[in-house]
Amino acid sequence: MNVSSPWRRRTLLVGWLLALALICVRAAQVQVVQAADWKRIAEAQHRTDAEVPAFRGAVLDRDGMPLAVSRERYRMSFSTRELSDVEGTRRMLTETLGIPQRQANTLTAASRAWSVVPGLHPPGIQERARGLRGIRLQRELQRYHPHGGLARGVLGRVLEEQGEGGIEQAFDGILRGTPGREVVARDHLGVPIPGERLTVSPPMSGNDVVLTLDMDLQEIAHEALEEAIESTGAHGGDVLVTDPRTGEILALVSVRDGEAASLSAIHTPFEPGSTLKPFTVAGLLADDLVSLYDSVDVGDGTWTVEGRTLHDVHSEGVMTVGEALRVSSNVGIAKSAQALTPGRQYENLRDFGFGVQTGIELPGEAAGLLRRPEQWTSQSAASLAIGYEISVTPLQMAMAYGALANGGRLMKPHLVREVRSPDGRVVERTEPRAIRRVVSERVAHAVSRELVGAVEDGTGGSARLATFQVAGKSGTARAYTADGYEEGAYYSSFVGFFPADDPQLVVVVKLDRPSGAYYGGAVAAPVTRATMEAALAARATPLDRAALIRSAARNEGRRPAITSTAQFADQPLDPPLPPFSVQDGDVRGIPGLGDGVTLPDVRGLPARIAVRRLHALGLRVERPAGHDIVGSVPPPGARVLPGDTIRLRLGQRSND
């Protein structure tokens, strides 16, 4: 007889009772004491708190045309094993998304565990996929540029919801907006349940930023610059168009190696050469050290100063200071500048804004170089007088010439006109601001008259217009690198403003290392003329037409013969723009302002000529990549209204 059997049974019974007691205690702990905590954990598994991205504010041009906007797009993916309707999914892929049938079959093949549909798709895909189980849609906000790369350098880009470069970076906090929160219900597999979303706090869209850019002028400047780079073989170039009265930037284009991404117009200084001479003369006149009629002897066109010999191309003998400026005499300007003390010469250039940042609303602006007098060499005074030993940006040059054009006031440049809330209210507006008065109106007008002579009779003849007087100055300077001056490489530039008697536009053109002809008057001045001609032809530009007519009337009878060297600016408009007039403050005689115009057939024309003809009709032009024009949208013969956008269809350049 086994005496231990009762004890074994008792021990097992006690063990089972203890285990049962522990289970009951744990159950009570879970069901009663920890009930609230476990309930929160269970709900968290089936409900997820998610961030709802906010729409980024739009960037608009001065007329409200969108330049950068956010649009809602969706990525689509699915598990083929969970698809409730394979055939319906295939039809959606082919009919709604335009995916080829073979690719749709591959994506929905039973052998694939998971498929991702390529591309981003419009919001309408939600409705189409609503009745198809197993499909996942992921919402994204994509930054879209309706004008492609036309103003990409100014706008910048958005990477991972962060602005990078341009306006996107400078105004990131204003454009960004405030994300919202929502609760999403999920099934036992963690998949969101359609329709089970609760918005806790809605997203707040960012503010819109309205620029001073005029997209017609931006397109005109971009077209003229690209044509100049192609025809001269330059490495790149810059074109700026500003309003001298307000400091507004109307067009800002930089192209390097065929790309229009970086803004060398504000980032990359260069030695300006002769375009700096007007400011030397302005400083002399402001201090009453010389008059424009004082004589200066340039001898045979050479002058050696402190071991350096200056050369003139065409001037010799005795001439006035005004004539020295008109014909761009290095010797004449440098000799005249001897009347300036180093301190006053430095202050004069600094007052015109050289050597300091302008404060434009873009990141990465360069200040250029203007050394203090104590750092000068014995040659510096003569070099600075003619635009050497100083580096400037095209933006600084535009604002300095704007001071001559507007009567002597240096304006602060601005690119942002106003900030608007999502409902359209103006939150902030930028008003024109004068930094300082640099010279008197008398001095500014006197120098401007000589700059008109530089265009009419001097080195800037290729910038002349038949109806309006243009004031301007060309410049040619050797390209400088870290290793010194580059042999045979030059920066060619021209700065002009018109109409000279009541300036509305300042145009700065700089070409980087053109091949062949490299003088600014030969290669950069024609770009200025082409830009001004196209601006006059385009009816949507911010020009004051009534003021232009008054200016033209003052110059009536002045019809000089103009021989243009611009290969892209000397084609007549077909049909030519008819005369126009002002009656009771209204512009008359321009066809198409009230009714539509017939879209001409531009197929087969060079792109530059086609764009100018469409601009002359008051139309905006969108030109995708390519070369030869093969059609347009709308098609030729369609009736369109001034201000409409015409899309040119381009093909590849033909062999001939």
Q: What gap in Å lies between CA 328 and CA 473, rounded to an integer?
A: 8
What average pLDDT does this structure show over 288-307?
91
Give the per-residue pLDDT at 409. Answer: 97
**DSSP 8-state assignment for residue 576:** P
Q: What gap in Å lies between CA 320 and CA 285, rounded to an integer?
A: 13
On the question of pLDDT at 445 being above 70, the answer is yes
Beta bridge partners of 305: 308
Cβ partners under 8 Å of residue 638, min gap 6:
598, 599
Give the per-residue pLDDT at 183. Answer: 72
Task: Give helix 277-286 / helix 342-351 axis angle, nearest 10°.
Answer: 110
Give the per-residue pLDDT at 621. Answer: 72
What kind and span of H or E run contains 102? helix 101-107
What kind and span of H or E run contains 244? none
**DSSP 8-state assignment for residue 502:** S
8 three-state secondary structure: helix
What average pLDDT does this structure show over 351-356?
96
CB atoms within 10 A of CB 562: 13
Higher pLDDT, 293 or 80: 293
Give the per-residue pLDDT at 414. Answer: 95
Cβ partners under 8 Å of residue 115, min gap 6:
77, 78, 79, 80, 107, 108
Give the per-residue pLDDT at 198. Answer: 61
In this structure, what token pair is assigned to residue 598?
Answer: 């017939």
Tell me if 453 sits within 8 A of 459, measured CB to CB: no
Q: Which of 124-133, 401-410, 561-570, 640-649 has the highest mean pLDDT?
A: 401-410
Give the per-residue pLDDT at 441. Answer: 96
Q: Which one-letter amino acid corresponds to residue 238? A: D
Give the per-residue pLDDT at 393. Answer: 96
Q: How many CA atoms lie within 13 A of 479 on its CB side?
A: 20
On the question of pLDDT at 195 being above 70, the answer is no
What average pLDDT does this structure show over 11-37?
77
On the question of pLDDT at 570 being above 50, the answer is no
Give the per-residue pLDDT at 569. Answer: 32
On the question of pLDDT at 29 being above 60, the answer is yes
- Quote the distance between the C-alpha of residue 625 and its chain's center: 18
Among 48-62, 82-96, 202-216, name the one with the lowest average pLDDT. Answer: 82-96
For residue range 597-631, list pLDDT tens digits in order.
Answer: 788 888 877 666 677 677 667 676 765 545 567 77
Give the per-residue pLDDT at 586. Answer: 33
Give the per-residue pLDDT at 370. Answer: 96
Q: What gap in Å lies between CA 107 and CA 96, rounded to an integer?
A: 15
Mean pLDDT rounded to a whole number for the chain? 81
Which segments of 307-431 does DSSP mark as H helices, in order? 321-326, 330-336, 342-351, 380-385, 394-405
Among 61-75, 496-510, 631-645, name the one with the lowest average pLDDT. Answer: 631-645
Give the per-residue pLDDT at 162. Answer: 87
Give the per-residue pLDDT at 536. Answer: 84
On the question of pLDDT at 367 being above 80, the answer is yes
pLDDT band at 567 (very low <50, low <70, confident <90, very high): very low
Give the per-residue pLDDT at 581. Answer: 37
Among 175-184, 422-431, 504-513, 561-570, name the one with the lowest average pLDDT. Answer: 561-570
Give the per-residue pLDDT at 591. Answer: 36
For residue range 492-501, list pLDDT tens digits in order.
Answer: 999 999 999 9
Give the per-residue pLDDT at 312. Answer: 87
What average pLDDT does this structure show over 100-116?
79
Backbone angles phi, psi at 15, to 5 degrees: -60, -45
Among 141-145, 217-221, 362-366, name the one with the lowest average pLDDT. Answer: 141-145
Give the per-residue pLDDT at 58. Answer: 93
Q: What gap in Å lies between CA 460 and CA 471, rounded to an integer?
A: 9
Beta bridge partners of 236: 256, 512
Cβ partners under 8 Å of residue 127, min gap 6:
none
Tell me if 507 sits within 8 A of 287, measured CB to CB: no
Higher pLDDT, 130 or 434: 434
On the question of pLDDT at 587 being above 70, the answer is no
On the question of pLDDT at 583 being above 50, the answer is no
Q: What is the DSSP string of 257-284?
A: TTB--S-HHHH--B--GGGGHHHHHHHH
From the list 352, 393, 347, the residue with the least C-alpha distance to 369 is: 393
From the list 130, 106, 131, 126, the residue with the least C-alpha distance to 117 is: 106
What average pLDDT does this structure show over 50-67?
87
Q: What gap in Å lies between CA 610 and CA 601, rounded to an integer?
A: 9
Backbone angles phi, psi at 41, to 5 degrees: -65, -40
Give the per-residue pLDDT at 89. Answer: 80
What average pLDDT does this structure show over 249-265?
85
Among 88-97, 213-222, 240-249, 619-628, name the one with the lowest average pLDDT. Answer: 619-628
On the question of pLDDT at 204 being above 80, the answer is yes
Among 244-253, 338-347, 528-537, 614-623, name the one with the lowest average pLDDT. Answer: 614-623
